[in-house]
Amino acid sequence: MKMNENIAKSSLKKHIRRFAISLLAVAALIFCITTITTTASAATTTDTVTDTTTTTGQNPLDDSSVLNDLIGVDASKPLEVVLIVTILSLAPSILIMMTSFTRIIIVFSFLRNAMSTQSTPPNQILVGLALFLTIFIMSPVITEIKDVAYTPYSEGEMTTTEAVSEASVPLKRFMLKQTSNKDMRFFLELSGQEIDENADYMDELGLDIVIPAFITSEIKRAFTIGFMLFVPFLIIDIVVASTLMSMGMMMLPPAMISLPFKIMLFVLVDGWQLLIGSLVNGFN
């Protein structure tokens, strides 16, 4: 007992030490960013205020940047720099939740648990495959966003706000196609909004309603697919366990005996092709 307590204490101290080091590193990074940004902005302001005032007679702070158009932040203050860094760190997760990635990675996780292969395939393989399948499924949406938003914006035909608004339309259309009416009505009731059944959801609904309804629908479909994946492998486990019991081999783990049969079944039916084909064809 004393040995276990000592091991636990040493492990706790190690984790606390790592957490403190990480916290200090983040604080140092934020301090460096804020110092550099403050110095650069002060120098730039000193050099340009006189020229801008004399040539145009306007306040130089009236010129809006891309970040100022999007989120009202122009990175001229230390607190705004921290806000930008936080938004950039969360941006990949936010974008992933608005695509087909959620359903795919949950189904892959269910498949690995159903086959009882523990860490095979590794997480890196599953995440990589899910990302490439997401790009494959979302390629029409990405192409449409490029045509209606990115290209006009890069050519100067749109402002930043207009480009973001146009880019959200194809993404919202994709999410609405995958969202069930039940989940949509649920979040409409939670928000207290009332929309006519014959109304166009594209015009009436905002992303604050569409995104959580879409994620909920994706999780439901992924769990349904996961249940269907468990059934054949569960039958194999039951058959193997019953056989071992009838033979009197109660000390032999059924999971170890059933694993080769699960792998053989999955390979013989070409399980990866069936699963990936079903996932891709399941998106409207």
Which residue type sits at 38? Answer: T
- pLDDT for 132: 92
- pLDDT for 221: 92
Alpha carbon distance 182, 40 (integer Å): 52
Which residue type sits at 278? Answer: S
- pLDDT for 78: 64
Q: Over the stretch 39-80, which tens digit does the pLDDT of each residue have? A: 545 544 444 434 444 444 444 444 445 555 554 545 555 666
Contacts with 14 (C-beta within 8 Å, 6 or more apart), sequence order? none
Query: Taking the complete model, does pTM exceed 0.85, yes or no?
Result: no
Consecutive 10-residue runs of the chain (284 residues): their mean pLDDT?
53 62 61 57 46 43 49 55 70 80 92 86 90 90 87 83 84 88 86 70 76 91 92 89 81 80 88 90 84
Q: Which DSSP category does 121 fall into? A: S
| Structure tokens belonging to residue 16 | 């606390």
Task: List the chain domain ranges.
Answer: 1-46+66-93
- pLDDT for 20: 61
Long-range contacts of 83-88, Cβ-Cβ distance < 8 Å, separation of 24 or more? 85/30, 85/33
Alpha carbon distance 48, 267 (integer Å): 68
Cα dist. 265→73, 111, 261 in Å? 56, 13, 6
Q: CA angle 31-35-40, nearest 5°?
A: 150
Chain mean position to CA 279 = 17
- pLDDT for 108: 93
Length of the chain: 284
Contacts with 152 (C-beta within 8 Å, 6 or more apart), sequence order? 158, 163, 166
- pLDDT for 184: 85
Alpha carbon distance 76, 42 (integer Å): 9
For 60, left (φ over 0), alpha (ψ -120 to 50), or beta? alpha
Q: Over the stretch 4-19, which tens digit does the pLDDT of each residue have? A: 555 555 665 665 666 6
